[in-house]
Structure 1
Amino acid sequence: MITIYHNPRCSKSRQGLSILENSGKEFQVVKYLNDVPTAEELTQIIKKLGIAPIDLIRKNEAIWKSEYKGKELSDDALIKAMVTNPKLIERPIVINGDKAIVGRPPENIKTII
């Protein structure tokens, strides 16, 4: 089952959702601002993405700039920051089996569906 971690207020996330809808494949939508992934779930997503936790963080968010920017943070601390402040999670994230991709640009999603 394909899963998209989606923020309806984000244009890139809406574009990613549209790509999935047009694919004809079955998928589920996780509105991650309401249904926040646990630290364990986020760790698994990061492993599937094949990136470091810092690479999943939206560094232009006000909460990042005011609370975290310039600090030395461990991977666990970065994951905890994303769980505590899910706005920090880059979006959309699409998972298909053991593969995942950040849909920026949204066309990247086509590579895993």
Structure 2
Amino acid sequence: MIKMYGIPNCNTIKKAKDALAAKGLDFEFHNYKKDGIDAGTLESWCSQVGWKTLLNQRGTTWRKLSPDDKEVINQDKAIQLMCVYPSMIKRPVLVVGDKIIVGFDEAVYAEL
């Protein structure tokens, strides 16, 4: 089973959905805006791919944070921020069995 995490109006999510559909792969979509994300899931992902891979520090949500929130980022603070602002999580996050894929890469999706 494939599960995709993201925000439905994101262009990268749309590309990822199209890539999976083109291959005829079924997937479940988890909408951060509607369903949120819990710290336990983020901790599990961080243990596999690292918090720096998950935290999008180039997006508008990051840029709108106060200087205090951006200071001294570590895994615990990153998880806290991603729980409060799930749009700060790089998109998409694809869970395929026990494997985590962060971001959209056509070559990686072609191998699924």
Structure 1 residues 1-113: aligned runs within 5 Å:
1-47=1-47, 50-65=48-63, 66-67=65-66, 68-69=69-70, 71-111=71-111, 113=112
How many percent of aligned residue pairs carry the same amino acid?
A: 26
Q: Which runs of 4+ in 1 moved over 4 A?
A: none
Q: Tell me the C-alpha RMSD between the 2 structures.
A: 1.8
Gaps of 5+ in 2: none
**How much does 1:106 deviate?**
4.2
Query: Structure 2: how far apart are the matches of 1:54 and 1:74?
Result: 9
Gaps of 5+ in 1: none
Letter in 2 for 1:63: T
Query: Structure 2: how far apart are the matches of 1:56 and 1:63?
Result: 14
> What is the TM-score when the length of structure 1 is the normalising length?
0.83
> What is the TM-score when the length of structure 2 is the normalising length?
0.83
Query: Structure 2: how far apart are the matches of 1:38 and 1:59?
Result: 20
